[in-house]
Amino acid sequence: MSTFGIDWTAEQNSIVVGAYFEMLLQEQDGTRYVKAEYNRNVQSRTGKTRGSVERKFQNISFLLQEMGHPTITGYKPLSNAQRGTLYDAISRHLQANQYPPLFAALENDANLRGAFNPESLEDARTETYRRIVLRREQPAFRRELLEAYGGKCAVNGYDSEFSLEACHIVPYRGPDTNHVSNGLLLRADLHTLFDLGKTGVDTYDMRVILADGMMQSSYAGLAGTSITLPQDPSKRPSAAALDQHRFLVGLQTPQH
């Protein structure tokens, strides 16, 4: 019997999210697959109609795009009334399969393409500068963070402007996320660690927390460090955004 028109249960959401990510991984790998077969499989396991499953795949695209993750080509993002339960299912999947997803595959692909060409050092230099510009994000956003944090890294106070980057707490998804309260001014290496989910912030006391694997590294001394906050309260990082980042990357807060 079809359950069309009834909210999806946690189990049903887990099934459709799993199917979506199977297709996404195959698309990223260049493997051919048939969307209709996945749709039929989800129908048989959830009791939902074809159209309902199709819309749910679009809902997943909408939330993944909002969270800053890749989406399946052809599943146009569609907002979802049952946002909370589906968001939870996606978040659990991301945590169980390492965040950010597909990073290892993307890194391997970059290696296979052979980005460095010793016969074209000028091209290599241009590419290096291009990557730096992209990494520093939108100029206005970066300038605002530099001003808010007094030109110093929020974590360790490093003050060389050339090494400081505008870090989005919630991944960039258009101009609305370029708000100073959705940013931290971080040294380049700390920005990378934050994006990879190796560092986060405990909003209880605004102190740095590290992933377990980082405690044996040269960064271990950062654990428990209080981050510097802008003097202007309106420019301080959003606690909700920091909590969302920590949740997505699976960082546990210390017992208080």
Looking from the CA of 47 toward its CB, the CA atoms found within 13 Å total: 11
The mean pLDDT value for 157-166 works out to 89
Q: How does pLDDT run across 213-242, given as a tens digit for each residue?
A: 898 899 999 999 999 999 999 999 999 889
What whole-number distance in Å separates Cα of residue 89 and Cα of residue 130?
36
209: part of which helix (H) or strand (E)?
strand 207-210
Read off the pLDDT of residues 58-97 as tens digits, 9 standing for 90 and up. Answer: 999 888 877 666 788 889 888 876 667 888 888 788 766 6
Report the amino acid identity of residue 187: R
Q: Which residues are CB-neighbours of 213 under 8 A, at least 6 positions away? A: 198
pLDDT score of 227:
96
Least confident of 56-60, 203-207, 242-246: 242-246
- 7 phi and psi angles, rounded to 5 deg: -55, 145
Specify the residue for token string 């169980």.
96
